[in-house]
Amino acid sequence: MALFGTDGVRGVANQELSAEMALAVGKAAGRVLGPGSQALIGRDTRVSSGMLEASVASGLTAMGVRVWMCGVVPTPALAYLIKAMGADAGVMISASHNPPEYNGIKLLDDLGRKWDPAREGAVEEIMATSASLMSLPRQIGAIHHVENEAVHRYRRYLSEVFWGLTDPLHVVVDLAHGAAISTAVPVLEHLGVKVTALHGEPLGELINQRCGATHPALLQRTVVKLKADLGMAFDGDADRLIAVDETGEVVDGDGILYALARELQQQERLAHNVVVATIMSNLGLERALEREGIELLRTPVGDRFVAQAMREGGAVLGGEQSGHIIVQQWAETGDGLLTGLCLLEVMHRRRASLSELVRPIERYPQILKNVPLVAPLSGAWEELPGLLDVVEQAEQDLGHEGRVLIRPSGTEPLLRIMIEGRSHDQAEAWIDRLVAAVESALDASQASV
């Protein structure tokens, strides 16, 4: 089974992702990089992150790689620092939006982008051959601690990019007890923004628990209560942003993409009048962009695929409904804080609230349900008995005003089912039928084993 998913190695810490596995990943990655290479390591606040950080660092240095420890920093901060410090690679220890018991290892290249599948495959191949993991006793890499320098360098970069572009607005931030605690508040306050922080303590055992980008309810209530101008919710490693407008309504990645796309278009900086998003983005976004003469190019789920399509097509803006937004002018990876600053810049330029900026989007009802998988699917989901027939019936009924999407999760043992259509009742009826069909097919396949 493949070790790397859509977002690196991920699993429950000390079980699927042990210290021994992290050591092996570090050694294999070090073998790929080669002696004398330089790598940065960052982490989020999870209890297990320090353990995995030490293991990866040991593996890299055992293979002759020099390591710079950056401490608690967002994934996009590490991506920036790799380029800024001239390193060959980076390793981020984080499980992003997952619960506290999970953790992950992301390998980043010299441009701060995720390693391509071929390179990740080379790591897996080396790990499968124990002889390839022999340490190099004469070429041990040194470890350097640059925690303070790293975080201050990233803060300074964002402050310089957006200096003078924000009004003295009131922003509420939900830091999710994660990596954003080291960056968001200092940068916003340096730019003159009044900030109220939620979940700002570095409590790794509570990361993403009823807070942050996946649980914005408290942020919504707080924005309304304090009459704030904007809410920003980050996930555990702060590479995504879910916004809340001044009325308390959630503005997800689709809304953010629309607001930024219109601004770039008005400035004649939206290359090819194209925005890249995934198959999960709402049809309402696609229709709203069409009215402005902007094409929406869709990719499979995963910011890796968005970034690849942007590079191949020369697009300057792309992202996911979940809040991973890539603004190519400033970064090649999703950056929650940078995205929030871009929104503030648009609000400043247009003298408009966020609710006004996203009002043209008429959202289609979209229902997503997850079916747990006891074991990995033996084949593609299309091979589940009887499921394709139900999918075809749903697509015929929904017509051009709806969609059916079924896909395995890239990070969890789940089969994700999404229905989108003009009618909420129609979408709900079809998703119930599809879930029932999947569960029945899974029960039948397990009974036959």
Residue 411 to residue 262: CA distance in whole angstroms: 32
Question: Of 48, 58, 96, 182, which residue is the catalytic one?
Answer: 96
Q: Same domain, yes or no, for 248 and 191?
A: yes
**388: pLDDT strictly greater than 50:** yes
DSSP conformation class of 100:
T
pLDDT tops 70 at residue 378: no
Residue 141 lies in a domain: yes
Q: Are 81 and 58 part of one and the same domain?
A: yes
Q: According to the model, what pLDDT value does residue 165 have?
A: 63
Same structural domain, 69 and 107:
yes
Locate the DSSP E strands across 256-330. Answer: 274-278, 295-299, 317-319, 325-327
Same domain, 351 and 370: no
Same domain, 180 and 136: no
What's the angle, vertex CA 145, arms to CA 139 and CA 148, rounded to 5? 155
Rounded (to 5) percent helix, strand, coil in the chain: 45, 20, 35
DSSP sequence for 346-412: HHHHHT--HHHHHTT--PPPEEEEEEE-SS--SS-GGGSTTHHHHHHHHHHHHGGG-EEEEEE-SSS
Least confidently predicted of 14-18, 110-114, 163-167, 208-212: 163-167
- Residue 36's SS3 state is coil
User: 263 and 325, same structural domain?
Assistant: yes
**Are 140 and 181 in a shared domain?**
no
Same domain, 311 and 426: no
In a domain, 244, yes or no: yes
Q: How far is CA 16 from CA 9, 12, 235, in A?
A: 10, 5, 22
Please say if the pLDDT value at position 125 is more than 90. Answer: yes
Q: Are residues 314 and 226 in the same domain?
A: yes
Tokens in use for 408? 């395995």
How many structural domains does the chain have? 3
Per-residue confidence band for 1, with pLDDT thresholds at 50, 70 and 90: very low
Asked if residue 92 lies in contact with residue 43, where contact means CB atoms within 8 angstroms, the answer is: yes
Q: What is the pLDDT of residue 239?
A: 97
d(CA 6, CA 213): 19
Helix axes 253-266, 336-350, angle to 10 degrees: 50
> How far is Cα 36 from Cα 102, in angstroms, rounded to an integer?
32
For residues 308, 311, 314, 320, the Cα torsion angle rounded to the nearest 10 degrees is 40
339 and 230 within one domain: yes
CATH at 330: 3.40.120.10
Is 297 within the bounds of a domain?
A: yes
Query: Is it the case that residue 445 has pLDDT exceeding 70?
Result: no
| Domain limit, last residue, from 125, 145, 165 | 145
More confident residue, 377 or 368: 368
Indicate if the alpha-carbon torsion angle 14, 20, 21, 27 is positive or negative: positive
- How confident is the model over 84-116, as pLDDT tens digits? 999 999 999 999 999 999 999 999 999 999 999
Residue 449 has pLDDT above 90, yes or no: no
**What tens digit of pLDDT does each residue of 305-335 get?**
999 999 999 999 999 999 999 999 999 899 9
Q: What is the largest CA-CA distance in the chain?
A: 68
What tokens were used for 81? 């620092």
Average pLDDT rounded to a whole number, residues 331-345: 95
Name the H helices within 179-273. 184-190, 217-226, 253-266
Residue 372 lies in a domain: yes
pLDDT for the residue 133: 77
- Residue 96 among the catalytic residues: yes
* 142: helix, strand or coil: coil
Q: pLDDT, tens digit, for every residue of 169-201? A: 999 999 999 999 999 999 999 999 999 999 999
- Given pLDDT bands bounded at 50, 70 and 90, which one contains residue 422? confident
User: For the segment 229-286, what is each residue's pLDDT rounded down to a tens digit?
Assistant: 999 999 999 999 999 999 999 999 999 999 999 999 999 999 999 999 999 999 999 9
CA dihedral of residues 146, 201, 342, 298 (deg, nearest 10): 90
> What spatial distance separates the first Cα and last Cα of the chain, rounded to whole Å?
19
Collect contacts of 425-430 with beta carbons under 8 A, ≥24 apart.
Answer: 426/397, 426/398, 426/402, 427/365, 427/366, 427/367, 427/398, 427/402, 428/367, 430/394, 430/397, 430/398, 430/404
Tell me the C-alpha distance between 61 and 64, whole Å. 5
**Per-residue pLDDT at 164:** 73
> CA torsion, points 4, 110, 180, 229, in degrees to nearest 10?
-110
Tokens of 364: 């289609």
Give the pLDDT confidence score for residue 6 in this predicted structure.
75
Question: For residue 12, what pLDDT is reported?
Answer: 96
Confidence band (pLDDT; 50, 70, 90) for 384?
Answer: confident
- At 5 the pLDDT is 80
Kind of pairing between the strands at 274-278 and 295-299: parallel
By residue range, what is the domain housing residue 311? 153-358
**Of 328, 358, 388, which marks where a domain is finished?**
358
Place of tokens 């990655």: 29
Assigned domain for 63 exists: yes
Mean pLDDT of the chain: 93
Which amino acid is present at 67? V
Look at residue 3 and tell me if it is in a domain: no
pLDDT band at 77 (very low <50, low <70, confident <90, very high): very high
- Residue 314 forms part of a structural domain: yes
* R_g over Cα of the chain: 22
Report helix, strand or coil for 300: coil
Single out the residue in 128, 145, 162 at which a domain terminates.
Answer: 145
Together in a domain, 374 and 281: no
Asked if the structure places residue 38 within a domain, the reply is yes
**Joined tokens for residue 388:** 């394709």
Q: Round to whole Å and give the CA distance between 198 and 21.
A: 34
Task: Give the pLDDT score at 34.
Answer: 95
Q: Which CATH number is 398's domain given? A: 3.30.310.50
Q: How far is CA 55 from CA 51, 143, 218, 355, 449, in A?
A: 6, 12, 36, 46, 38
Question: 87 and 214 share a domain?
Answer: no
Asked if residue 366 has pLDDT above 50, the reply is yes
